[in-house]
Structure 1
Amino acid sequence: MFPTPIQKRPVANQIAYKTFLPIALIVWLLPLIAVAVFSIKPDTDFTQGNYWGMPGSFEGFTNYGMVFFNSDMPRYMLNSFLITIPTVIGAVALSAMAGFALGIYNFKSNIWIFFMFVAGNFVPFQILMVPVRDLTLDMGLYNTKTGLVLFHIAFQTGFCTLFMRNFIRQLPFPLIEAARVEGIAEWRIFWYVVLPLMKPALAALAVLIFTFIWNDYFWAVVLTQGPESQPVTAGITSFNAQFRAAYHLMSAGSIVAALPPVLMFFLMQKHFIAGLTLGAVK
């Protein structure tokens, strides 16, 4: 029923596995490796067509120095943090409360309300581009970080509620019944009984939403413009001139922009894996 572990396979299969696994890993990482190499190349390598060869000279300090000190990259990075962190807090907080209500209380239309949260995940976000943009214009939220935060919270709450509701349904219900017998208010049950048990799920969801929002490009371009509100994913394109693309600076900016999600994952790795695997083994 389950695949045989590689340690129990024939020696020839083990050798093939150990040979082709590094090759597959390198092929998978090839785009990231290419961007990292591009980020240390001089500008002349691109004008001369040296895209895949060795760098003509090491210009890593120059390229990254220009990204940090001669561009609006720090402002774009700050905008990304000011957009992503409130979104994570808002989406996780709302979904935790909604998941508690949908997972604990068996009221009328419970399943239909839950279905509405789930159905929102199947709406292609591209078709919302025009109405959402018009709505932000009418409300005076276009080209503001607040507008982008509110939209992301609204769009991510559906997935987060699905995640939280299913997690809460797996919690031991007798704990909640025992708290009710003691006369504890429902909000205190949520805060002191359920919420501490949800820490792995909260951590896993926070990492996922942080990555989703930080890497968003579509809505960053649709709803914002200029360094006063654009996040780093859209701001990287500012390195392009009208008739020329600064690939070395764009590559350096991409590496810098990718660091926060990677650091977030490694800092929360233990809780992230625990949240995703909790309940997988009895």
Structure 2
Amino acid sequence: MFPTPIQQTSRLTQISYKVALPLTILIWLLPLAAIMMTSVRSIADINAGNYWGWPEQWMLIENYTEVFARTNMGRYLLNSVLVTVPVMIFSVGLATMAGFALAKYKFTGRIAIFAVFIGGNFVPFQILMIPVRDLTIQTGLYDTIWALIIFHTAFQTGFCTLFMRNFIVGLPDELFESCRLEGASEWQIFTKIVLPLVRPALAALSVLIFTFIWNDYFWALVLVQSDEVRPITAGISALRGQWLASWQLISAGSIVAALPPVILFFAMQRHFIAGLTLGATKG
């Protein structure tokens, strides 16, 4: 079996694993710890060069209150919600219906359509920057929430369709045939049979898409420019002034921006893990 369980490896491998694992976790968490410590420092502490030491003065409430009072952080958060939630609903909903059709219906061109969905995932989104930006300008969508919603929905639906199709294809065809014999319509089969059976996959995919869109920075810079529609990722970069950077506010804003995906993950953790491991074993 591959990979070999760590308990069945050599003694040297087990020792190396036990040493490397906590060291890797420490290195991975070090930047996050630095940001969290900076978010509670005073500006005098930062100017004095105390980047890694214990804060001389704790400014937890002051910094996190100030980041909302002095900046448009509240608006940035709202913009991210207005973009992320519709994209998550539209892309997952469309992909579930498309995945059901590609998995369980036999029609001409099915393989070609599925190949288009797969091929779209391999297109580097950077090469789309200029044509997508020009298209949004020509259609009047540039610098609007709808520009981000429409683009992200179109771009993420391909990955979502591939994800959902692979789950739905494992459902037994006899189940759907028995429902049709009982007089159920295709829409009833989809809503009453398919959706409940793939609920773990829906939860896992929703968490992934929410995280992808919420953390997007590239398209937030390309398709919008005003504070009224700027998402949280681009908004944090706007907190840095031309001559002076308030790093304590930038760090506090970064922590605030990271909270929604973390909260969603822990809220959906059981369904998320079940969705990722669904179909991994037999019997």
TM band (smaller chain): over 0.9
Q: Secondary structure at the match of 1:170?
A: coil
> Do structure 1's residue 25 and structure 2's residue 44 form an aligned pair?
no
Structure 1 residues 132 and 9: alpha-carbon distance in aligned structure 2, compared to 1, 3 A threshold: closer
Give, in whole Å, the separation in 2 of the partners of 1:102 and 1:9: 42
Letter matched to residue 253 of structure 2: G
Q: How does 1:104-119 map to 2 (within 5 A)?
A: 104-119=104-119
The letter for the 1-side match of 2:31 is: P
The answer for unaligned runs of 5 or more in structure 2 is none
The residue matched to 1:106 in structure 2 has which SS?
coil
Q: Which whole-Å deviations, capped at 9, do the CAs of 1:79-133 have from their partners, x for residues lacking one?
A: 1111100000000110011111111111111000001111111111111111111
1:274 and 2:269 are equivalent in the alignment? no
How much has 1:17 moved relative to structure 2?
4.1
Alignment partner of 2:121: what SS? Answer: helix
Measure, in 1, the Cα distance between the counterparts of 2:57 and 2:12.
43
Residue type at the aligned position of 1:156:
Q
Greater shift after overlay, 252-261 or 235-244? Answer: 235-244
For the residues of structure 1 that align with 2:5 and 2:119, how far apart are their CA atoms?
39
**Distance of 2:4 and 2:164 partners within structure 1:** 34
* 1:188 counterpart letter in structure 2: Q
Partner of 2:197: 197
Residue identity in the other structure for 1:84:
T
Percent identical: 59
> What letter matches 2:143 in structure 1?
N
Question: Partner amino acid for 1:95?
Answer: A
2:161 & 2:3 partners in 1: Cα distance?
A: 34
Give the match for residue 160 of structure 2. Answer: 160
TM-score (norm: length of structure 1): 0.94
Q: CA deviation at 1:11?
A: 6.7
Q: 1:4 to 1:201 in 2, by over 3 A?
A: closer
Q: Distance in 1 between matches of 2:138 and 2:3?
A: 57
Could you tell me which runs of 5 or more consecutive residues in structure 1 were left unpaired when the two chains were aligned. Answer: none
Alpha-carbon distance between aligned partners in 2 of 1:164 and 1:17, rounded to the nearest angstrom: 35
Q: What is residue 131 of structure 2 aligned with on the other side? A: 131
1:169 aligns with 2:169: yes
In the TM superposition, residue 16 of structure 1 has moved relative to its aligned partner by: 5.2
Question: Aligned residue pairs: how many?
Answer: 282
TM-score by length of 2: 0.94
User: What is the CA–CA distance in structure 2 between the aligned matches of 1:82 and 1:3, rounded to whole Å?
Assistant: 42
